[in-house]
Amino acid sequence: MRWAACASVVTALLLAACGDEAPPAEPKSTFELRAVVEPALAEALARSPSASAAVTPADPEAVEAVLSTLESPDARMRALALEDAKILGDSAIAALSAAIADTAAAPARRTACAQALGAIATSSAVDVLATRLETDPETWLRAQCAWQIRAAGLDEAVPRLVLRLKYEKDGATVVWIADALASFGYLAGLEGLRVLRDTARDESVRTDALERLDALAAERGFVDGEELYAAWWRGDLDAKLPPREPSDALRREVWDRIGRLSEWDLRRVDDARFVLSRIEGWVVPMLAAALHDEDVYTRVHAAQCLERRGPRARAAVDELIAALADTRLAPGAAAALAAIGDRGAGRAIEDLLRSTRDVELRVAAARALGSIGGPASLDLLRAAWAPENPIDLRQSAAGSLVALGEGDAVAPFHLECLDEKSADAGAAEHALGHWIARKAESGGVTWRSLSVRWTALEPALGSVPDAAEVAERRARRGQIARAAIGLR
């Protein structure tokens, strides 16, 4: 350490002797790092162990009696069989798990297994149901498992239900998953219901999705599903409908997902981000705490989760502003603050753009100011847009200038970037579309016509254009942008 100090002094003296000053050092981060996730997960596991104690398997004849009776047309007998299943409890899990996984078995038998598991309603039973929901090839059984998870009433299944929304291909099953989540007080299924309502090929699925959306809205005092979704996305529901207190088991599952943010398996990381960005607001303080974790991947991915939550992460604003002091975390923190849309964070972002020499941080700050900047941001953004700066910084600054009403000045630059190989053509296309849309709001018939032509070139929902289609769309939009620039 002494040699390092001497070397620093000698370097400074040599630079002074040559008439040059040493560049100012980046300020040292004051953002506290500590072990967060591991101790929290350990505590959660202690409060709610994830593994059940071993049990003696039930008499096979007793399990068979339950299943046979559940296949009966007699409703009274079926109700009695469900009571018998509850009595058997976890002792029947091994037999039921094997039976429900038997794809050669009759649908009535597999349905009976799901019903018995729903009646047993233990963690082990819900685990079997969730596994079939995640893996079974039969759509009718997946839907039945979602229904029985709802019947079991254990909220620890919520993360697995939410994740299934990412992968489920059957529209009817998505409706049942959304219904199960709503029964626990979670509305992550609203997104899927809206998509099904608008795009499902099966008319009955579209109808079911619409009816479920409107029913969920009516239950919560909203006019329709759109009003409910808007309130959920803004994070306004917690004030109107205080969230249910999560069980210890669900908190354990959430800390487990936060722990996965540091893994090397990128699919597991992305799955964890998907879940954590859609659970209700009580998870935000946990993600805010994870911003301080010693593992940099945990910190960065926690910030990404908060970014994906948008306004529903506003409780983390103060921690995200503090996180701007962590060089590794600052870009993600700035993006999260922009997504949340809290203009109170604008000054902190301006200070970051003004003070740092790190290009990545400057790009993130310039981009964020498009959402949370104000009049005081304009001179900073114009300076960042200057020709001597890197192209990615110039584009980020120019995009924010469009968002803040200065699009006329930077539209020609965005048009150049649309064809410039070193530029981000997608960002340029987005900025030009935003500029034309803003002008169409008050610019008369010609501007509205240009905006309609631009929007008509948008790819169909759910489609993935190939490279040739993208090039053709951008060429045609370039023509529209040129016409718009001529009208400035």
- What confidence tens digit (pLDDT) does each residue in 403-446 have? 999 999 999 999 999 989 999 999 999 999 999 999 999 878 99
pLDDT of residue 242: 76
Question: What are the pLDDT digits (tens) for 135-173?
Answer: 999 999 999 999 999 999 999 999 999 999 999 999 999
pTM of the entire predicted model: 0.89
Residues 6+ apart with CB under 8 A from 65: 81, 84
Would you say residue 189 has pLDDT above 60? yes
Domains and CATH numbers, the chain: 60-240 (1.25.10.10), 411-488 (no CATH)
Residue whose entry in the numeric block shows the structure tokens 């000054």: 347
Question: What are the pLDDT digits (tens) for 200-232?
Answer: 999 999 999 999 999 999 999 999 999 999 999
pLDDT cut 90: percent of the chain above it: 87
Distance (Å, rounded) from C-alpha 175 to C-alpha 108?
22
At residue 241 the predicted structure's pLDDT band, cuts being 50, 70 and 90, is: confident
Would you say residue 13 has pLDDT above 60? no
Would you say residue 331 has pLDDT above 90? yes
Question: Which residue, among 124, 181, 170, has the nearest Cα to 147 in the 3D structure?
Answer: 181
Which amino acid is present at 278?
R
Distance (Å, rounded) from C-alpha 388 to C-alpha 394?
9
Q: Please state, as a whole number, how many other Cβ atoms lie within 10 Å of the Cβ of residue 28.
A: 7
56: region left, alpha or beta (phi > 0 left; psi from -120 to 50 alpha): beta
Ranges 97-101, 271-275, 342-346: which has the least confidence: 342-346
Distance (Å, rounded) from C-alpha 189 to C-alpha 209?
10
Would you say residue 1 has pLDDT above 70? no
List Cα–Cα distances, 207 to 191, 210, 218, 226, 242, in angstroms: 15, 5, 16, 15, 30
pLDDT of residue 28: 55
Would you say residue 18 has pLDDT above 60? no
pLDDT mean over 247-267: 97
Identify the residue with better confidence: 421 or 130: 130
Distance (Å, rounded) from C-alpha 288 to C-alpha 318?
9
Q: Is 150 exposed, middle or buried (0-12, 13-18, 19+ CB in 10 A)?
A: buried
Ranges 21-35, 183-197, 237-251, 298-312: which has the least confidence: 21-35
Q: Please state, as a whole number, how many other Cβ atoms lie within 10 Å of the Cβ of residue 442.
A: 8
At residue 50 the predicted structure's pLDDT band, cuts being 50, 70 and 90, is: confident
pLDDT of residue 7: 39
Would you say residue 3 has pLDDT above 80? no
Would you say residue 244 has pLDDT above 90? no
Ranges 165-174, 179-188, 438-447, 474-483: which has the least confidence: 438-447
Assess contact for 183 and 150: CB atoms under 8 A: yes
466: region left, alpha or beta (phi > 0 left; psi from -120 to 50 alpha): beta
pLDDT of residue 53: 67
Q: How far is CA 81 from the centre of its chain?
A: 41
Helices 248-259, 296-309: axis angle to 10 degrees equals 120
Distance (Å, rounded) from C-alpha 150 to C-alpha 177?
9
Residues 6+ apart with CB under 8 A from 340: 306, 309, 310, 311, 313, 314, 316, 317, 320
pLDDT of residue 349: 97
